[in-house]
């Protein structure tokens, strides 16, 4: 019996970056203006922000909406976009539609996977951020920042 060929396609949505002035990210709070559009979404949104070597935003994109983290199918999309942007560093962020921004066990697992992948690809893993409403948790600070 032959197995059917099943293909999945992930659409990449570009998130507009303010182009009037270069946007430099020095800490998690600096990233919030780019992420606030996902903070109150009812489905989980995963965003990657590509940065140059001075922390200036090259691009940002939504790589998954309503993602099932256990499948991890969106992870290659993070790096595909960052590599095509010529990024030196990335920030990965997602919202918690349920409200609290404290990381789950799965968030901690994903942080570890992304950190290892960045090391292999020689990308700086600048931060892993969780947003919800007006609150923001940053792994780089290991605390709720806002």
CB atoms within 10 A of CB 7: 4
> What pLDDT does residue 20 have?
41
Write down the pLDDT at residue 8. 46
Helix (H) or strand (E) holding 90: strand 89-95
Mean pLDDT per 10-residue interval, the chain, length 146 residues: 52 50 88 94 93 95 76 80 95 93 92 95 97 94 75
Measured from the Cβ of residue 123, the count of other Cβ atoms closer than 10 Å reads: 20
The residue ranges of every structural domain in the chain are 13-141
Angle at which helix 75-85 crosses helix 105-121, to 10 degrees, equals 40
CATH class of the domain whose range is 13-141 = alpha beta
The pLDDT assigned to 101 comes to 93
The Cβ of residue 130 has, within 10 Å, a number of other Cβ atoms equal to: 23
DSSP character string of 124-139: EEEEEEEEETTEEEET
Token pair for 38 = 């996902």
């Amino acid at each position: 019996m032959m197995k059917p060929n099943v293909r999945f396609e992930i659409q990449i949505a570009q998130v507009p970056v303010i182009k009037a002035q270069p946007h430099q990210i020095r800490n998690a709070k600096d990233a919030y203006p780019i992420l606030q559009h996902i903070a109150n979404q009812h489905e989980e949104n995963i965003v990657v922000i590509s940065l140059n070597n001075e922390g200036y935003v090259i691009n940002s994109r939504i790589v998954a909406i309503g993602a099932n983290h256990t499948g991890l199918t969106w992870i290659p999309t993070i790096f595909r976009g960052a590599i095509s942007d010529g990024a030196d560093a990335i920030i990965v962020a997602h919202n918690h539609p349920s409200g609290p921004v404290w990381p789950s066990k799965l968030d901690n697992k994903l942080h570890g996977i992304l950190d290892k992948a960045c090391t292999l690809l020689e990308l700086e893993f600048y931060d892993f951020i969780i947003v919800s409403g007006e609150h923001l948790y940053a792994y780089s600070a290991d605390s709720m920042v806002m």
